[in-house]
Structure 1
Amino acid sequence: MPYEPPTHSVERSMRATLGVRTVAGVDEVGRGAWAGPVTVCAAITGLRRPPEGLTDSKLITPKRRTRLAAVLADWVTSYALGHASPEEIDEQGMTAALRLAALRALEQLPEQPDAIILDGNHNYLGGSWQVRTVIKGDQSCVAVAAASVIAKVRRDAAMVELGREYLPFAFAENAGYPSPVHRAALEEFGPTGHHRLSWSYLDALPRWQHLKKVREGVDTGEQLGFDF
């Protein structure tokens, strides 16, 4: 399907209106998974022409995405990754976990950005950052698209490694997201130490419901059920 390539228009606007110099694009992957961490990438690209084919990672085939991530790793000015574990997601809720992962990524950048373009419509960073949220920013903004691809490829690779230890869950294929195979493995074996135990998928598993962690007054990450 044809798509419009991402541009630097949002970054140029922020530079002009806010007087900032360095802008980072920030995107996450793993928000809706049942297992594995949530991963955030922060990428600084400047205003250079992006590599051909750059767009939202979800619109790129796995092989192309892997190749593009390798190109981006050398092309971006800098990038860094941050993660929040399933335990942190269960204890703090998804919004706080996203903030934690994003801050870990931003703190690792060799140069701290003056402002941030954040994919979506919710500023989960808060604090003193100058943030502009952009719906579908991973399709329209170069830095966010770059962050999207790098985050997706790195997290998927980590889930492939995890899948070698937990073969019935097929993490190499589903990256910890809902799937029939993943559900069947949960029904038979129960959640692993890498599963999120505050998620609503446990409500549909009578044998394992007692493992669910319930926290009052804390976002539980959309309370995801089965969605195939």
Structure 2
Amino acid sequence: MTPSVEKTTSEVFDELYETVSEHYDQAEKVYVFDGYAGANPASRKKVRFITDLACQRHFVTKMFLRPQAKEKIADFKPDFTTVNAYKVTNKNYKKHGLKLEVFVAFNIEKDVAVIGGTWYGGEMNKGIFSMMTYWLPLDGIMAMHFSANKGTNGDTAVFFGLSGTGKTTLLADPHQYLIGDDEHGWEDEGILNFEGGCYAKTISLSAENEPDIYNAIKRDALLENT
């Protein structure tokens, strides 16, 4: 069955949150990442991810901007928190009017998301991108899905397209400075990357055709669905 985006209620969200919370009450290990979405300190958002799967924590460490050592992590207060429980499924999904046991539920009033039933790290990444497309326009900043690079003269090129259409391939020019390959904001000062890493498709990847992307796959890189 094809996943879909559906409206739900705050009561359903609260039930899912309670189910995830009960799971974490019994969890042997919990991994937490505090970081940022957005390269501009003036408009970035503080994000927190909680998971009990080490590779998901590794994923967000690579995909979001990490605080510098001098920053006080102890005083970190997130603008949004995502709680990921990959082992948890929604047994009451039919009663809730949903189509799947897997869930990715966002509550923008409480600034919390809960995810269950999937190992896929992209749900966390794309979820925060969705929130950025909500937050930033309120401050006069366009949030869009494109890749971008910058020339030696300061000229910027942007490449729009759906996932898998070649945005990352087009931006990987050895004569241009890479800004980012997926999620960006467009503000008065220029283009800003939301992420701290690249999220590239690896199908048919070769050193001959895409050397920059190919060479990025090394120690600490994370491959999904391969």
TM-score past 0.5 threshold = no
Q: Looking at both structures, which has the greater relative contact order when contacts are Cα pairs under 8 Å and sequence separation is at least 6?
A: 1
The structure with the greater share of residues assigned to strand is 2
The structure with the greater share of residues assigned to helix is 1
